[in-house]
Structure 1
Amino acid sequence: MPVTSADGAGPVLSHMLERLEEPHPIGDLARRAVMSSRTFARRFVAETGTTPHQWLTEQRVIRAPELLEESDLPVGQVATRSGFGRAALLRHHFQACTGISATAYRSQHRAPAMTGA
């Protein structure tokens, strides 16, 4: 997690990380930070270098490989648990961020106990 000021985005980032599977509208995040939506968005970018939406997408992509490696969950359930909601969104963002499909990633990085070896 990026370094943030104590009264800045840090608590909101923690909240988002603990609840990746939930939607996080900017208005809700701003209220949590006790700021207007516009001020929150501006401070978020200043502290993290990216927008709340992009940051959340990146965190969801980081979570997805853990689920792909450690479980037999279908891609649709991995999408739900990592916060994408739909398999198509997971596939799109995962491929864009990693350069490999979620299914190919799972095949290449599967834990030995999961493959029956």
Structure 2
Amino acid sequence: RRFKAEYGATPAAWLARQRVLHAQRLLERSDLALDQIADECGFGSAAVLRQNFARVLGTTPTAYRARFSCVDDAETSAA
């Protein structure tokens, strides 16, 4: 109860939100595959990442990356 009063969410919901925030940063700034991002963020699989991403943000990781990616296409093709 104290955690929820302090942070406005249950510990599990707060943790899921933090993981989604980390995934957002990786989607914006890297060209890592969804499986790699899911692993890096602690989701375990791309499917679980997609479920949490949709629940928290109302969109898919792929759509999010297409809209907000800062990685230049020339950088990704050169790598």
TM-score, structure 1 as length reference: 0.59
Paired residues in the alignment total 75
**Structure with more contact order per residue of length (Cα contacts < 8 Å, sep ≥ 6):** 2
What's the offset of the Cα at 1:80? Answer: 1.1
* Structure 1: gaps spanning 5 or more residues: 1-41
Q: Which runs of 4+ in 1 moved over 3 A?
A: none
Which of the pair is proportionally richer in helix?
Answer: 2
Aligned to 1:53: 12
Aligned to 2:2: 43
Aligned to 2:74: 116
Match of 2:28 among 69, 78, 85: 69
* Structure 2: gaps spanning 5 or more residues: none
Secondary structure, aligned partner of 1:116: helix
Whole-angstrom CA distance in 1 between matches of 2:42 and 2:71: 26
Residues 4-32 of structure 1, C-alpha deviations (whole Å, 9 max, x = no match): xxxxxxxxxxxxxxxxxxxxxxxxxxxxx
Whole-angstrom CA distance in 2 between matches of 1:82 and 1:106: 16
What's the offset of the Cα at 1:74? Answer: 0.5
Aligned to 2:58: 99
Q: Which has the greater radius of gyration?
A: 1
Judge conservation of contact 2:30–2:71 (CA < 8 Å) in 1: no
Aligned to 2:39: 80
Whole-angstrom CA distance in 1 between matches of 2:17 and 2:62: 18
What's the offset of the Cα at 1:85? Answer: 1.6
TM-score, structure 2 as length reference: 0.84
RMSD between superposed Cα atoms in Å? 1.5
